[in-house]
Amino acid sequence: AQKITQTQPGMFVQEKEAVTLDCTYDTSDQSYGLFWYKQPSSGEMIFLIYQGSYDEQNATEGRYSLNFQKARKSANLVISASQLGDSAMYFCAMRWFSGGYNKLIFGAGTRLAVHP
Amino acid sequence: NAGVTQTPKFRVLKTGQSMTLLCAQDMNHEYMYWYRQDPGMGLRLIHYSVGEGTTAKGEVPDGYNVSRLKKQNFLLGLESAAPSQTSVYFCASSPLGTRDTGELFFGEGSRLTVL
C-alpha cells in the first residue's frame, strides 16, 4: 500500500539559512508524482513544487527544490535562504494512478519555525 | 478568480444533527475530493469523484456521504454528526489528463465542531 512518512513533527531554522524537510514514500508503482504543499497559519493549502517519478532532474521553484532520490524513496524539500514568512506547516504528498483514477495521499506534516 | 469555494466556513453542530458542506469549483476540473485535517494526521481522504455522477470512497469514508450531481459541485453530508467528526474539512479539485500532474487546488477549509 502507498504510504507517505514525514518524520519531523517540528523544525526550526534561522532566517536566511537553508533547511531540509524530510519525506519518504512507499509505493510499488513505477509512475507516480510527489508534491509539497505549504499551510500557513491562515489555513489555506499552497502548492509549492512537483516531481514526477520519471523526471531525471530535481524540481526547482524559486527558493524551493525537491531532492528526489528514487532508490531511497525520498523526496525531501529544501528551502534556501529561509524567510520569516516560511513559518508554516509543510505537507508531502504522493499521487498515483490506480483503478482508472488519480489518487493522492498526504504525510502528517512538518511544522517549520523560522527565527529572526 | 473564485477557484474552489467551500460553504460554510464554520459550523457548530450538536451530536446527531445533520449537515451538508458544499464545494464549488469554476475550473472545469473532473476530479473533486473531500479531505479532513486533524492535528498530527495530515489530510485524510474521505471521498472523491472522478466526474459528474461518480463517487468513490477514500481512506476514512464512514459517517459521510457525498454527491456530484453537477460537475462543478461536490457535496459532503453528515447524516448524524459525532464528536469524532470535529475537524477541518478541505475540498479540492484537479484536472484530468495524462499531461496533468494531478496537482490539487484547494478550498479555504471548513471548520466543523460537533458538541
The predicted structure's pLDDT at residue A103: 82
The predicted structure's pLDDT at residue A1: 81
pLDDT tens column, A4-13? 999 999 999 9
Check B45 against A105: CB less than 8 A apart: yes
The predicted structure's pLDDT at residue B5: 96
- The residue of chain A with its CA nearest to that of B110 is A43
**Which residues have a Cβ under 8 Å from the Cβ of B39 and sit 6 or more positions away?**
none
**B66 to each of B54, B60, B79, B91, how far by Cα in Å?**
10, 13, 11, 12
The predicted structure's pLDDT at residue B99: 57
Q: Distance, in angstroms, between B82 CA and closest chain A CA?
A: 23
Count of C-beta atoms within a 10 Å radius of residue A63: 14
Residue B87 one-letter amino acid? S
| CA dist., res. B11 & res. A16, Å (int) | 40
pLDDT tens column, A32-84? 999 999 999 999 999 999 999 999 899 999 999 999 999 999 999 999 999 99
pLDDT tens for the 115 residues of chain B, in order: 679 999 999 999 999 999 999 999 999 999 999 999 998 788 999 999 988 999 999 889 999 999 999 999 999 999 999 999 999 999 999 886 555 677 889 999 999 999 9
Contact residues, chain A to chain B, C-beta under 8 Å:
4, 6, 9, 33, 35, 43-45, 47, 50, 52, 91, 93, 95, 100-109
- If DSSP codes are grouped into helix, strand and coil, which group holds residue B84? helix
Give the three cell numbers for residue B39: 492535528
- If DSSP codes are grouped into helix, strand and coil, which group holds residue B87? strand
Q: Distance, in angstroms, between A107 CA and closest chain B CA?
A: 6
Check B45 against A104: CB less than 8 A apart: yes
The predicted structure's pLDDT at residue A88: 97
* Strands A10-14, A110-115: pairing kind: parallel
Task: Give the start-end residues of each E strand in A1-116.
Answer: 3-5, 10-14, 19-21, 24-26, 32-39, 46-52, 60-61, 64-69, 74-79, 88-98, 101-106, 110-115
- The residue of chain A with its CA nearest to that of B57 is A103
Mutate to test the interface with B, among A104, A105, A110, A111 (most CBs of B within 10 A): A104
Q: Which of A33, A47, A108 sits opposite B42 (nearest CB)?
A: A108
Mutate to test the interface with A, among B33, B35, B43, B50 (most CBs of A within 10 A): B43
